[in-house]
């Protein structure tokens, strides 16, 4: 009897842990616009100039948003039930609808897209999640001025054997 009570408590603790773990995925975001793949509508209050797929959740621990909803800088990490291919198609189609001009895109195991909009640049990175769906990282920052060095010039180092 003592062993049955112990097993019962263990199962109860595991069930509670599973429920809590399931709730820790971050807030579910409202979609930001209508599209053919998934209905979207404006409502992510922190940013309003990028697409947010229906049912996406925000990874709060790995996201940072600084500025106003239509002129922010930072990184938004979204978990979505879309496949990586669906997410790629959605961002390729919807980013221009939000005023972003495409620069390049590569669809692969980890897909990447780059855009500009006025004095800002954005990258979208899409990667499949282990169980299902995709992780989408949208990074937005001020665009570097033409001719400005990206970093300090590198010095060449010559190593000669002795």
Task: Residue 88: count other Cβ atoms within 10 Å of its Cβ.
Answer: 22
Let me know how long the chain is: 162
DSSP letters, 49-89, are SS---TT-EE-GGG-EEEEETTEEEEEEEEEESS-HHHHHH
- Whether 154 maps to a domain, the answer reads no
CATH number of domain containing 100: 3.40.1000
Query: Which residues, at least 6 apart from 33, have a Cβ–Cβ distance to it below 8 Å?
Result: 40, 41, 42, 51, 52, 94, 97, 98
pLDDT exceeds cutoff 50 at 155: yes
Q: What is the predicted pLDDT for the residue at 129?
A: 87
pLDDT for residue 91 is more than 50 = yes
pLDDT band at 114 (very low <50, low <70, confident <90, very high): very high
Looking at per-residue pLDDT, the higher value among 101 and 15 belongs to 101
Q: Identify the pLDDT of residue 73.
A: 95
> Average pLDDT, whole number, for the chain?
77
Using the predicted structure, report yes or no on whether residue 89 has a pLDDT greater than 70: yes
Evaluate if residue 46 carries a pLDDT over 80.
Answer: no
Higher pLDDT, 72 or 35: 72
Residue 7 lies in a domain: no
Q: How many domains does the chain have?
A: 1
- 10 Å CB burial of residue 140 (0-12, 13-18, 19+) is buried
Is residue 82 over pLDDT 60? Answer: yes
Angstrom distance (rounded) from CA 80 to CA 112:
16
Range of the domain at 89: 23-142
pLDDT of residue 131: 83
- Only one residue has tokens 């005023």, namely 99
> Residue 114: which of 146, 106, 122 has the closest Cα?
122
% residues pLDDT > 90 (the chain): 51
Pick the closest to residue 24 from 71, 55, 54, 61 (CA basis): 61
Q: What is the mean pLDDT of residues 109-133?
A: 95
- pLDDT given at position 68: 87
Residue 59 in domain: yes
């Amino acid at each position: 009897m003592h062993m049955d009570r112990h097993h019962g408590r263990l199962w109860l603790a595991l069930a509670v842990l599973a429920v809590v773990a399931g709730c820790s995925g971050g807030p579910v975001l409202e979609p930001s616009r209508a599209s053919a793949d998934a209905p979207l509508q404006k409502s992510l209050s922190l940013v309003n100039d990028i697409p947010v797929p229906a049912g996406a959740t925000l990874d709060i621990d790995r996201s940072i948003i600084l500025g106003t909803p239509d002129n922010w800088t930072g990184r938004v990490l979204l978990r979505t039930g879309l496949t990586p291919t669906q997410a790629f198609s959605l961002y390729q189609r919807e980013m221009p609808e939000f005023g972003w001009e495409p620069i390049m895109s590569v669809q692969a195991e980890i897909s990447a897209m780059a855009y500009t909009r006025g004095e800002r640049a954005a990258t979208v990175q899409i990667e499949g999640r282990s169980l299902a769906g995709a992780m989408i990282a949208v990074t937005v920052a001020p665009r570097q001025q033409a001719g400005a060095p990206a970093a300090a010039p590198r010095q060449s180092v010559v190593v000669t054997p002795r």
